[in-house]
Structure 1
Amino acid sequence: MAKALEVEMSDFFGRQYNEAWQFDGDEIARFYCVPTVTVRGDGSIHCLQSREELARFFQGVLDTYKGQGLASTTLHDLRVVPIGDRSALVSMTWNAVDADGRPIREWRQSYNLVRLADGWRILVSTFHLSAAPG
């Protein structure tokens, strides 16, 4: 079961979710539960309570990344922990590169997912943050 779930999560994030980032915020939003909670790289916490709010939020993130030159992302060091039969904790390191393949940023992120009738959805997304200064 664990290996099959790892393959399923690799496809979910490495192909499906990653491809959504080539489109727009609305396409990204369909991968999330409503509501969803996200802890961002700057430490801010957001509870997004509608599909429209998710789409606006992720369009802003996408616009920021594209403004930094984002052309594509890849993931590595995927770790999957089943939580019962219908949920999982998935962690990975993302690498973002520009059109010439130069690195833009790298970060580690974890996701709590639930399996709904229409497939996997992200319930919580958490950037792995460094300890707060001082």
Structure 2
Amino acid sequence: MPHTDLSAVEADVRTWFDQYVATFIGLAAAGRTDPAPLLDYFDAPITMTTDAAHVVLASDAALAAGLAHELQTLREAGYGGSTALDPEVRALNERSALIEVTWARHDRGGREFQRVRVLYLAARTVAGWRTTASAVLSP
């Protein structure tokens, strides 16, 4: 069995995640609600959990609707941007990694209105790295 260079996997995932962060923040800060540019960062079905709910988005259409809802919610909150605080990437094997990050969300005036820690499971699919699960961690 060949040895997997987990540091190379982690570097690859960091680059992919940084692109996702830039894409998401750019869309949300501009007040856009069309999720199309984000769809290449996720794979359906995807499971998402919070303290309040567990949701499985079983299709690309359901994923698009969920992302559009999140973008709309941020638009209504006067979203101006986010800072990805202390992102940690841990390769599990050649095809999967955990990403844990604290999001500090700011309004257009620069005031922080939300801070949330999220854990993502990313998988290397035939289409490239994709988020396959996420969990909002309890404070």
- TM-score interval, smaller chain: 0.7 to 0.9
| Residue aligned with 2:132, SS | strand
Deviation at 1:78, TM superposition (A): 1.3
- The correspondence for 1:53, drawn from 62, 71, 74, is 62
- The correspondence for 1:25, drawn from 24, 35, 38, is 35
Give the structure-1-normalised TM-score. Answer: 0.84
- The correspondence for 2:45, drawn from 10, 35, 40, is 35
Asked if residue 13 in structure 1 is aligned to residue 17 in structure 2, the reply is: yes
Letter in 1 for 2:83: T
List runs of 5+ in structure 2 lacking aligned partners. Answer: none
| Residue aligned with 1:35, SS | strand
1:1-134 to structure 2, matched below 5 A, reads 1-21=5-25, 22=27, 23=32, 24-40=34-50, 43-130=52-139
| Residue aligned with 1:46, SS | strand
Deviation at 1:127, TM superposition (A): 0.3
Q: Residues of 1 paired with 2:86 and 2:8: CA distance? A: 16
Structure 1 121/70 Cα, relative in aligned 2: closer, same or farther at 3 Å?
Answer: same
| Residue aligned with 1:123, SS | strand
8 A Cα contact 1:26 1:54, kept in partner: no
Deviation at 1:30, TM superposition (A): 2.6
Give the structure-2-normalised TM-score. Answer: 0.81
Letter in 2 for 1:9: V
Q: Residues of 2 paired with 1:129 and 1:55: CA distance? A: 25
Large movers: runs of 4+ above 2 Å: 1-18, 23-30
Q: Residues of 1 paired with 2:20 and 2:59: CA distance? A: 21
List runs of 5+ in structure 1 lacking aligned partners. Answer: none
Q: Residues of 1 paired with 2:21 and 2:59: CA distance? A: 19
